[in-house]
Amino acid sequence: MDTIFALATARGRAGVAVVRISGSQARGAAGRIMRDVPTSRGVRRLFDAEGELLDKALVLCFDRGRSFTGEDVVELHLHGSPAIVVAVLSILGSDTALRPADAGEFTRRALDNGCLDLAQVEGLADLIDAETESQRKQALRVFSGALGEIAERWRSMLIRAAALLEATIDFVDEEVPVDVTPEVDQLLRAVTLEMNKEIAGVHIAERIRDGFEVAIIGEPNVGKSTLLNRLAGREVAITSEVAGTTRDVIEVRMDLQGIPVTVLDTAGMRETDDFIEGLGVEKAKERAARADVRVHMMLDDSIPTPNIDSGDIYVRAKADLSDSAALSVSGMTGAGVDRLIGLVSEILEERVAAVGVAMRERHRNAMQRAVEYLSVAVTMLEDENATVDLIAEELRSAIRSVDSLVGRVDVEHVLDEIFSSFCIGK
């Protein structure tokens, strides 16, 4: 494969800039810009083709099989001057043994060389994009290989079940020494149970990655936009005494105690003859129905007890104008806002606690296919007329679905999409 190079850190002025070279010619290329290449690490002076000093850099060398990509890798830790970076990249670009890396190509090589599985690649992409603590923890768990470990255990259990069944085929004309059906049934049901738990957690995992939605809903002039401004810490929504000011859904993304949340300010809920306002009300109803949590702001004390749904919180609006004993909030003064944030956080933290390690729709689809194959296999096990070879084929299909989780099979069509999200240098 070609030897590639790229800036692995963000462009612009910085304390340190890292240029990565990966491939069989990495050490040779490094040797052409420094007097000698260190065995593992060392400080070296870098020179251009005319022998002019470019920079004094920390040079790290990784042997094939012991690097991120699985290839020979040399990293140049330069002083983070844009001029130095441009000069070094220009010198490397003039080397005919090298070429600039494509987006995500270093990680693609790590996958091709067996250093990462596909689920770990996805976890790495999410780790790079992580903005909150919950996103970091979830992405790091997947990048560390948690999903691959679970998939490998499922695969081993299914291979064991398939081996037991196929062993009976060898005794087709003889009496089978042991009835393998109970153990096979137990293995299949155990895998199915674990997969269903992971499938149920995918939606929450997606929410952690993309952000939960909290909708603020209520009648016009109840203080929704004022509360949104208070939560955001800035003026993001127009507030006015004129009813119907908010026509569209206003979204503000924030970190709520380590959980990514998008707070929605919606149009006031009321009957109206104004066509545009009516569209806003309909959109508000649609978004509120899809939200994970709905904060109902009310002007009276007719608050349901307990709340109708686990995702619904009812609060008395404009706490600064009343002495209500119910949960009250005021976006104007901030009264009750901390308590409201605490309630929202409790609901979301409870949901986050149920998340597994599968975190993408691709994972859910692969597990769902496997569960369907296993369901057929379990049904056939209970049928005395079912043939063993057909049951074994269902298990082989389930194993292929498990393999697709970590990229062993049937994933070529998703690779380009995944790696296009990576920056050059990663």
Is 90 annotated as ligand-binding? no
Torsion angle of alpha carbons 280, 285, 290, 294, nearest 10°? 110
313-316: long-range contacts at Cβ-Cβ below 8 A with a sequence spacing of 24 or more?
A: 313/340, 313/343, 313/344, 313/347, 315/340
From CA 67, how far away is CA 83, in angstroms rounded? 28
236 is in an annotated binding site: no
Q: Which two tokens stand for residue 384?
A: 């005395």
The verdict on whether residue 55 carries a ligand-binding annotation is no
Task: Tell me phi and psi for residue 355, to 5 degrees.
Answer: -75, 145
> What does the alpha-carbon distance between residue 276 and residue 264 come to, in Å, rounded to a whole number?
19
Residue 70 is labelled as binding a ligand: no
Do the annotations mark residue 151 as ligand-binding? Answer: no
Does 22 show up as a binding residue in the annotation? no
Is residue 39 a known part of a binding site?
no
Element spanning 90, H or E: helix 82-93
How many CB atoms are located within 10 Å of the residue 122 CB? 24
Residue 226 counted as an annotated binding residue: yes
233 is an annotated ligand-binding site residue: no
242 is in an annotated binding site: yes
- Has 258 been labeled as part of a binding site? no
User: Was 224 annotated as part of a binding site?
Assistant: yes
265 labeled binding residue: yes
333 is in an annotated binding site: no
Helix (H) or strand (E) holding 251: strand 250-256
For residue 251, list its beta bridge partners: 264
15 annotated binding-site participant: no
Q: Is 345 assigned a ligand-binding role in the annotation? A: no
Is 411 assigned a ligand-binding role in the annotation?
Answer: no
CB 48 within 8 A of CB 87: yes
Q: Which residues are annotated as a binding site?
A: 221-226, 240-246, 265-268
Q: Which residues are annotated as a binding site for K(+)?
A: 221, 240, 242, 245
Q: Which residues are annotated as a binding site for GTP?
A: 221-226, 240-246, 265-268
Q: Which residues are annotated as a binding site for Mg(2+)?
A: 225, 246
